[in-house]
Amino acid sequence: MNEKKKILIVEDEKNIANLLAFNLMQNGYDFDIASDGEMGLKKALAGDHDLILLDLMLPKMDGFEVCKKLREKKTTPVIIVTAREEEVDKILGFDIGADDYVTKPFSINVLMARIKANIRRYANEVIEKPTPEQSEEQKIVIRDMVIDPEKYLVTNKGTPISLTKKEYELLAYLASNRNKPFTREELLEQVWGYEDFYGDIRTVDVTIRRLREKLELDPSRPEYLMTKRGVGYYIS
Ligand code: CA
């Protein structure tokens, strides 16, 4: 089981690709490099990588496209490496299927912690998939909202709500601990799998905002996803 994990680096800037490769090696990972989007997608589809580090601005095919096309076939965890802060919203909002992101310039320690957390979480998901018998009784009903963990489905007044994976997981976590407020840090740890300060709390805020836009009648006056001043978020 102690087989080396293999990371695919999709990055056109040689310096960054080399820096990533060097640090992955130092941390006991194997790596593979693709220097444009087309090659990245090809390698990602053909290989058995444990995680993909994906740049957004790439020749031939951009990172958004690579991620979307990959998700049609595979669930390999993807961490987007982006140079631009303002793209964070786009990454989290569009359902391109990315699991996480870091912005350049990034700290190697943070990146390594994220890689580890994402690989670990992915491995747990595969193992912990509940059997249908176990999850039969687990539907969560809060007024007009129904969360069905078996189908990964959320409906509001009977209408299915289209959520990204993380939006779903955050909502389900809060709903199964109804009325209990969580800090952003706690949510990063419980829902995203990050420890200590390695996560970015804005990720939580953005995801909450998206959820409100999708679920609430009036997102500025939420009835489900509440803010507990000075603490964090909860579901009422
Ligand atoms: Ca680039």
Using one digit for the tens of pLDDT, what is the confidence trace for 100-113?
888 888 888 889 98
Mean pLDDT, residues 103-130 taken together: 80
pLDDT of the residue at 90: 67
Query: Phi and psi for 55 in degrees, rounded to 5?
Result: -75, 155
What pLDDT does 164 receive? Answer: 81
The two structure tokens encoding residue 127: 């193992």
Token match 């790596």: residue? Answer: 31
Q: What is the reported pLDDT for 89?
A: 66
Query: Amino acid letter at 182?
Result: F
Query: What three-state secondary structure class fits 101?
Result: strand
- 230 forms beta bridges with none
- What is the rounded average pLDDT of the residues 67-79? 90
Prediction pTM value: 0.67
CA of 102 to the centre of ligand 1 (A): 14
Cα of 57 vs centre of ligand 1, distance in Å, is 4
Q: How far is the CA of 66 from the centre of ligand 1 (A)?
A: 13
Confidence at residue 198, expressed as pLDDT on a 0 to 100 scale? 66
Q: Which of 8-17, 148-157, 214-223 has the lowest mean pLDDT?
A: 148-157
Contact (Cβ atoms closer than 8 angstroms) between residue 5 and residue 119 = yes
pLDDT in the model for residue 235? 96
Sign of CA dihedral 103, 106, 107, 110: positive
CB under 8 Å to 85, separation ≥6 — which residues?
103
Confidence bin at 91 (pLDDT 50/70/90):
low
Question: 42 and 32 in contact (C-beta within 8 Å)?
Answer: no
Contact between 68 and 96 under an 8 Å Cβ cutoff? The reply is: yes
Cα 137 to averaged position of ligand 1 atoms, centre (Å): 47
In this structure, what token pair is assigned to residue 151?
A: 């189908």
Q: Which one has a higher pLDDT value, 229 or 127?
A: 229
- Give me ligand 1 centre to Cα 13, in Å: 6
pLDDT per position as a tens digit, 177-197: 999 999 999 998 888 877 765
Distance between Cα 5 and ligand 1 center (Å): 24
Ligand 1 midpoint to CA 129 (Å) = 36
C-alpha of residue 30 to centroid of ligand 1, in Å: 22
Q: What is the pLDDT of residue 226?
A: 96
Peptide bond into 160 cis (omega under 30): no
> DSSP strand E in 69-181: where?
78-82, 100-103, 140-142, 145-148, 153-156, 159-161
Amino acid identity for residue 65 in this structure: E
Cα(177) to centroid(ligand 1), Å: 41
Q: pLDDT by residue (tens digit) across 17-65? A: 999 999 999 999 999 999 999 999 999 999 999 999 999 889 999 998 9
116 C-alpha to center of ligand 1: Å? 23
Residue partners of 223: CB distance under 8 A and separation at least 6: 143, 216, 217, 236
Q: Which residue has the tokens 């500025």?
A: 220
- Contact between 208 and 195 under an 8 Å Cβ cutoff? The reply is no
- Cα 166 to middle of ligand 1, angstroms: 26
pLDDT at 16: 92
**What is the model's pLDDT at position 135?**
46
